[in-house]
Amino acid sequence: MSKKGIQSKDPHVLNLVKIVGVDPVRKSILYKKEDLLAYDCDGFTLRKHLPRAVVFPKNTAEVAAIVTYCHENDLPFLARGAGTGLSGGAIPLNGEVIISMVRMKKLLSVDFENRRAVVEPGFVNLKLTNSISDKGYYYAPDPSSQYCCTIGGNVAENAGGAHCLKYGVTTNHILGLEVVLPNGKVIEIGKDGVPDQPGYDLLGLLTGSEGTLGIVTKITVRILKNPEGKQTVLAYFDKVADGSKAVSDIISAGIVPAALEMMDKTAIEGVEAAAFPVGHPKDIEAVLLIEVDGIAAGLDEQINQILAVCNSNNVREVKAAQSEQERAKWWANRKTGFGAMGAISPDYIVQDGVIPRSKLPEVLKRINEISEEFSLRIANIFHAGDGNLHPLVLFDARIPGESEKALEAGSLCLKACADVGGTITGEHGVGIEKREEMRFVFTDEEIIAQTEIRQVFNSKNLLNAGKLFPSPGRCVEVKNEIAAAAAK
Amino acid sequence: MSKKGIQSKDPHVLNLVKIVGVDPVRKSILYKKEDLLAYDCDGFTLRKHLPRAVVFPKNTAEVAAIVTYCHENDLPFLARGAGTGLSGGAIPLNGEVIISMVRMKKLLSVDFENRRAVVEPGFVNLKLTNSISDKGYYYAPDPSSQYCCTIGGNVAENAGGAHCLKYGVTTNHILGLEVVLPNGKVIEIGKDGVPDQPGYDLLGLLTGSEGTLGIVTKITVRILKNPEGKQTVLAYFDKVADGSKAVSDIISAGIVPAALEMMDKTAIEGVEAAAFPVGHPKDIEAVLLIEVDGIAAGLDEQINQILAVCNSNNVREVKAAQSEQERAKWWANRKTGFGAMGAISPDYIVQDGVIPRSKLPEVLKRINEISEEFSLRIANIFHAGDGNLHPLVLFDARIPGESEKALEAGSLCLKACADVGGTITGEHGVGIEKREEMRFVFTDEEIIAQTEIRQVFNSKNLLNAGKLFPSPGRCVEVKNEIAAAAAK
């Protein structure tokens, strides 16, 4: 026993305890293997690595002190929110010290007049809306994990959500950040929440940088006034091609729904077998969940236009939510869709590609071919309105080789997106999962330019190393070739 | 005479001619002093420098060849669009070779289904809307110079405009860029127009980088469906404080007008004396120009709410535009407002600060004090809804010392914005004008981090050097101090 109950021979653990102190009730540091096991992966479960320790700072000063300590002692480290990330961004590949932000979870201030709120990074996404809804305000980005994911994690991943079609992703709602740089220095970007600072767009650069450029310790977000009204409809299609065409036609008609979601037949089988069934017909190929919001007086007209588009695309049935309860049930059915796959498959991986909307029928067809080639079922639950696909590859990890097959099928789905001018992630990030797939959308030179930007911030590459970019091999070779050519 | 009519002894001019060729009708290169004089400044006229030459490439390959030539021969160079920039970003401080983009002015494609268009950088902003309006679409960012400014220049400056309150600034409408890097290599960002690429947000980083990171040669922009309806009102206030309060109350009420513009008494005197008078009363302290757009059925309700807010803030008179002609007249009156100052003052400089909306009354009061301290009239014409102020400092350059006084007063206006948590530019950029004012909002360390990012792209600092950041002196000292401290 040493340091008031800390039983560790690791001098770094003992030094980190000096920074975060010993909490008699809730542990401020974890270092025993049995405690660390809960931190060996995040929402991406196919790779597991133990961290060296997990520390729980309570404020910016403690974060800065931990980071400074790691920087000075060459200890790899990374930040973690709720650990709901789907691409492995919080997995301690290099035995990192994990800096968990979950104790920095205060709502620091709300300024209704200027429409902004300041939160600590561990503040849970949905709690923000819950805290301001009595005044008629909400926070727009709504990832499916919003009931537990943190806004700090949302910033790292530039999280999206069903309502990002109309309202934009996280980066469109961030007005300011306090950031601990990888050397322990603290900077503020977008002071006091006035966006569009001069100089380079550091706010944009940090947002979505997947925890590789700094650790966010304070976040100023935009809050929005609740729309006066909402209307929500479900539309069932016998043919997936008709559903896809309806999506494209709705957008082309100039309607911007708040949300425009699609699930295919396999997905429907899953959500109907899981916790929130709503009675979707099982013999249809596609369901659209469409929501419009805004000034109440304008909603009927939009809904009528949507009905007309659905009818002209052979819709089998359309129905409008008759109450807020019914609407909430439909959304619960959709938002728990990924987890629902557990009801019909022992394992699944979710992919996250983006395509130009007009390519939807073509890409869904290609995903179907991939499913047949690999003899693996692939469900599709996705943000159809913004072309953000989520193919869910179902598999059984107990069957030797099937995990690898599923990963390969998932990668091919992303290739299909990239091949039609799309990209490999809309909201889940690259993490460790899609590092090699970065080559589908970037040349070596473009990747090198990005790693050089990382170098500016993260000069020792101790912060979340090994994420976001392909393994260095080929890029380093190319860089050397470029240097050699320049030297000639 | 040499090179088919090129009379220059400058070997670089002769080599550049080999790239762009000799055009029998329109010159492809300018090198004589009398021709270069037109390029010695841009919309910021207080500093003038002659370029070495001006070249007019016709395509990306020519731009890349010019840049490669400059890079290899250590010639400073910069890109220029229409030259309407207000902060001196296109002024050849170092005798640059100016690469004028005005011959690359094609609309390359329009994809209505996926709502995007691809343009060359020299394509004029307003021409895009004019080209697609028959199909019911438009391009949202609308700087006051939109009838002549280029979209390439808009990207460099992250240009705003009156309707950016609801629709966002240029960066929110850019889906992809083709960029010639300062070493002559060509990269594509956001291929084929799917936004939110993984990795660092290079699209955001390049947009608004004021021509210091690369030269944009192709731009994919978002196009929007025309709103179904628009309503526009003018509201006159006896007291500027009441006008400010009305702005704040409109936003707090949850209304997001498409535009919410304000002019003060001095500004009204100017616009009424210039080309587009509309009969504003001359004894009022503030006029608001308010526009709402969207689904037609919802507009009356919004206008009624706006009227109620104006009434509760002692409005003298409110009137709605009775026709599209009347609306267009009101907008011409507002949009030519800067130039209109020429009717009441020999010279003026326009400033461009941003503040949290709630600070409007406080900052307008401070600007008034600055006006009195310097005995210079200051007019205010601005995007009130998003807190983007444009103090216009009126002066007479023929009076010795008055230019300097005006610059100092302008700088103090920006300081007043920064002091309340605002910033020093909303849409005009830093250029050479506001380099020192960057210190109002950034620490030395934050500025150094940005110059290091520039270094990644612009390693020889030949591209538009001396812009955007404070003169190196103090920053270099600080950097050396940091390095010395780290070495200890």
Quick one: how many helices (H) and strands (E) in chain B?
Answer: 17, 20
User: Which residues of chain A register pLDDT less than 50?
Assistant: 1-2, 474-475
A72: chain B residues, CB-CB within 8 Å: none
**CA distances in angstroms from B177 to A314, A451, B204, B221, B330, listed in the order given:** 39, 20, 10, 9, 35
Q: Which pLDDT score is estimated for B475?
A: 47
Q: Which residue of A has its CA nearest to B387?
A: A194
The domains located in chain A, with CATH, are: 11-100 (3.30.43.10), 107-225 (3.30.465.10), 227-344 (3.30.70.2190), 347-441 (3.30.70.2740), 444-487 (no CATH)
- Residue A272 CA from chain centroid, whole number: 25
Q: Smallest Cα–Cα separation from A159: which of A82, A261, A264, A76?
A: A82
Looking at residue A162, its pLDDT comes to 87
Distance from CA of B224 to the nearest CA of A (A): 8
Q: What is the largest CA-CA distance in chain B?
A: 74
pLDDT at B34: 94
Reduce the DSSP state of residue B226 to 3 states and report it. coil
| Nearest CB to B194 within list A112, A251, A421 | A421
Contact list, A205 vs chain B (CB under 8 Å): 200-201, 204-205, 453
* Secondary structure (DSSP) of A159-182: ---TTHHHH--GGGGEEEEEEE-T
> Could you tell me which of B234, B257, B241, B263 has the C-alpha nearest to residue B340?
B263
Q: How far apart are CA A391 and CA A3, in angstroms?
A: 49
Looking at residue B196, its pLDDT comes to 67
Report residue A114 as tokens: 């200027």
DSSP H or E stretch at residue A39: none
Q: Give the pLDDT confidence score for residue B184 in this predicted structure.
A: 96
Q: Which residues contact A436 (CB under 8 A, 6 or more apart)?
A: A411, A470, A471
- Asked if the model's pLDDT at residue B386 lies above 80, the reply is yes
By CA distance, what is A166's nearest residue in B? B167
For residue B191, the distance in angstroms to the closest alpha carbon of chain A comes to 6
Closest chain A residue to B423, measured at CA? A197
pLDDT band at B2 (very low <50, low <70, confident <90, very high): very low
pLDDT band at B3 (very low <50, low <70, confident <90, very high): low
Is the pLDDT reported for residue B422 higher than 80?
yes
Minimum mean pLDDT range among A20-24, B67-71, B106-110, B266-270: A20-24
Backbone angles phi, psi at A280, to 5 degrees: -60, 140
Q: How high is the pLDDT of residue A256?
A: 87
Contacts of B228 in chain A (CB under 8 A): 254
Tally of CB atoms within 10 A around B244: 25
Per residue in B5-44, pLDDT (tens digit) is 788 999 999 999 999 998 878 889 999 999 999 999 999 8
What pLDDT does residue A191 have? Answer: 66
ipTM, interface predicted TM-score of the complex = 0.78
pLDDT for res B445 = 82
User: Quick one: which of A330, A25, A196, A248 has its CA closest to B354?
Assistant: A196
Judge whether residue B90 has pLDDT over 80.
yes
Q: What is the mean pLDDT of chain B?
A: 91
Q: Given pLDDT bands bounded at 50, 70 and 90, which one contains residue B54? A: very high
pLDDT at B26: 85
Predicted confidence at residue B164, as pLDDT, reads 86
Q: Average of pLDDT values for B449-470?
A: 92
CA pseudo-torsion sign A222, A228, A234, A239? negative
CB contact under 8 A, A158 and B449: no
In single-letter form, the type of residue at position A276 comes to: F
SS3 label, residue A156: helix
Rounded to a whole number of angstroms, the CA Rg of chain A reads 23
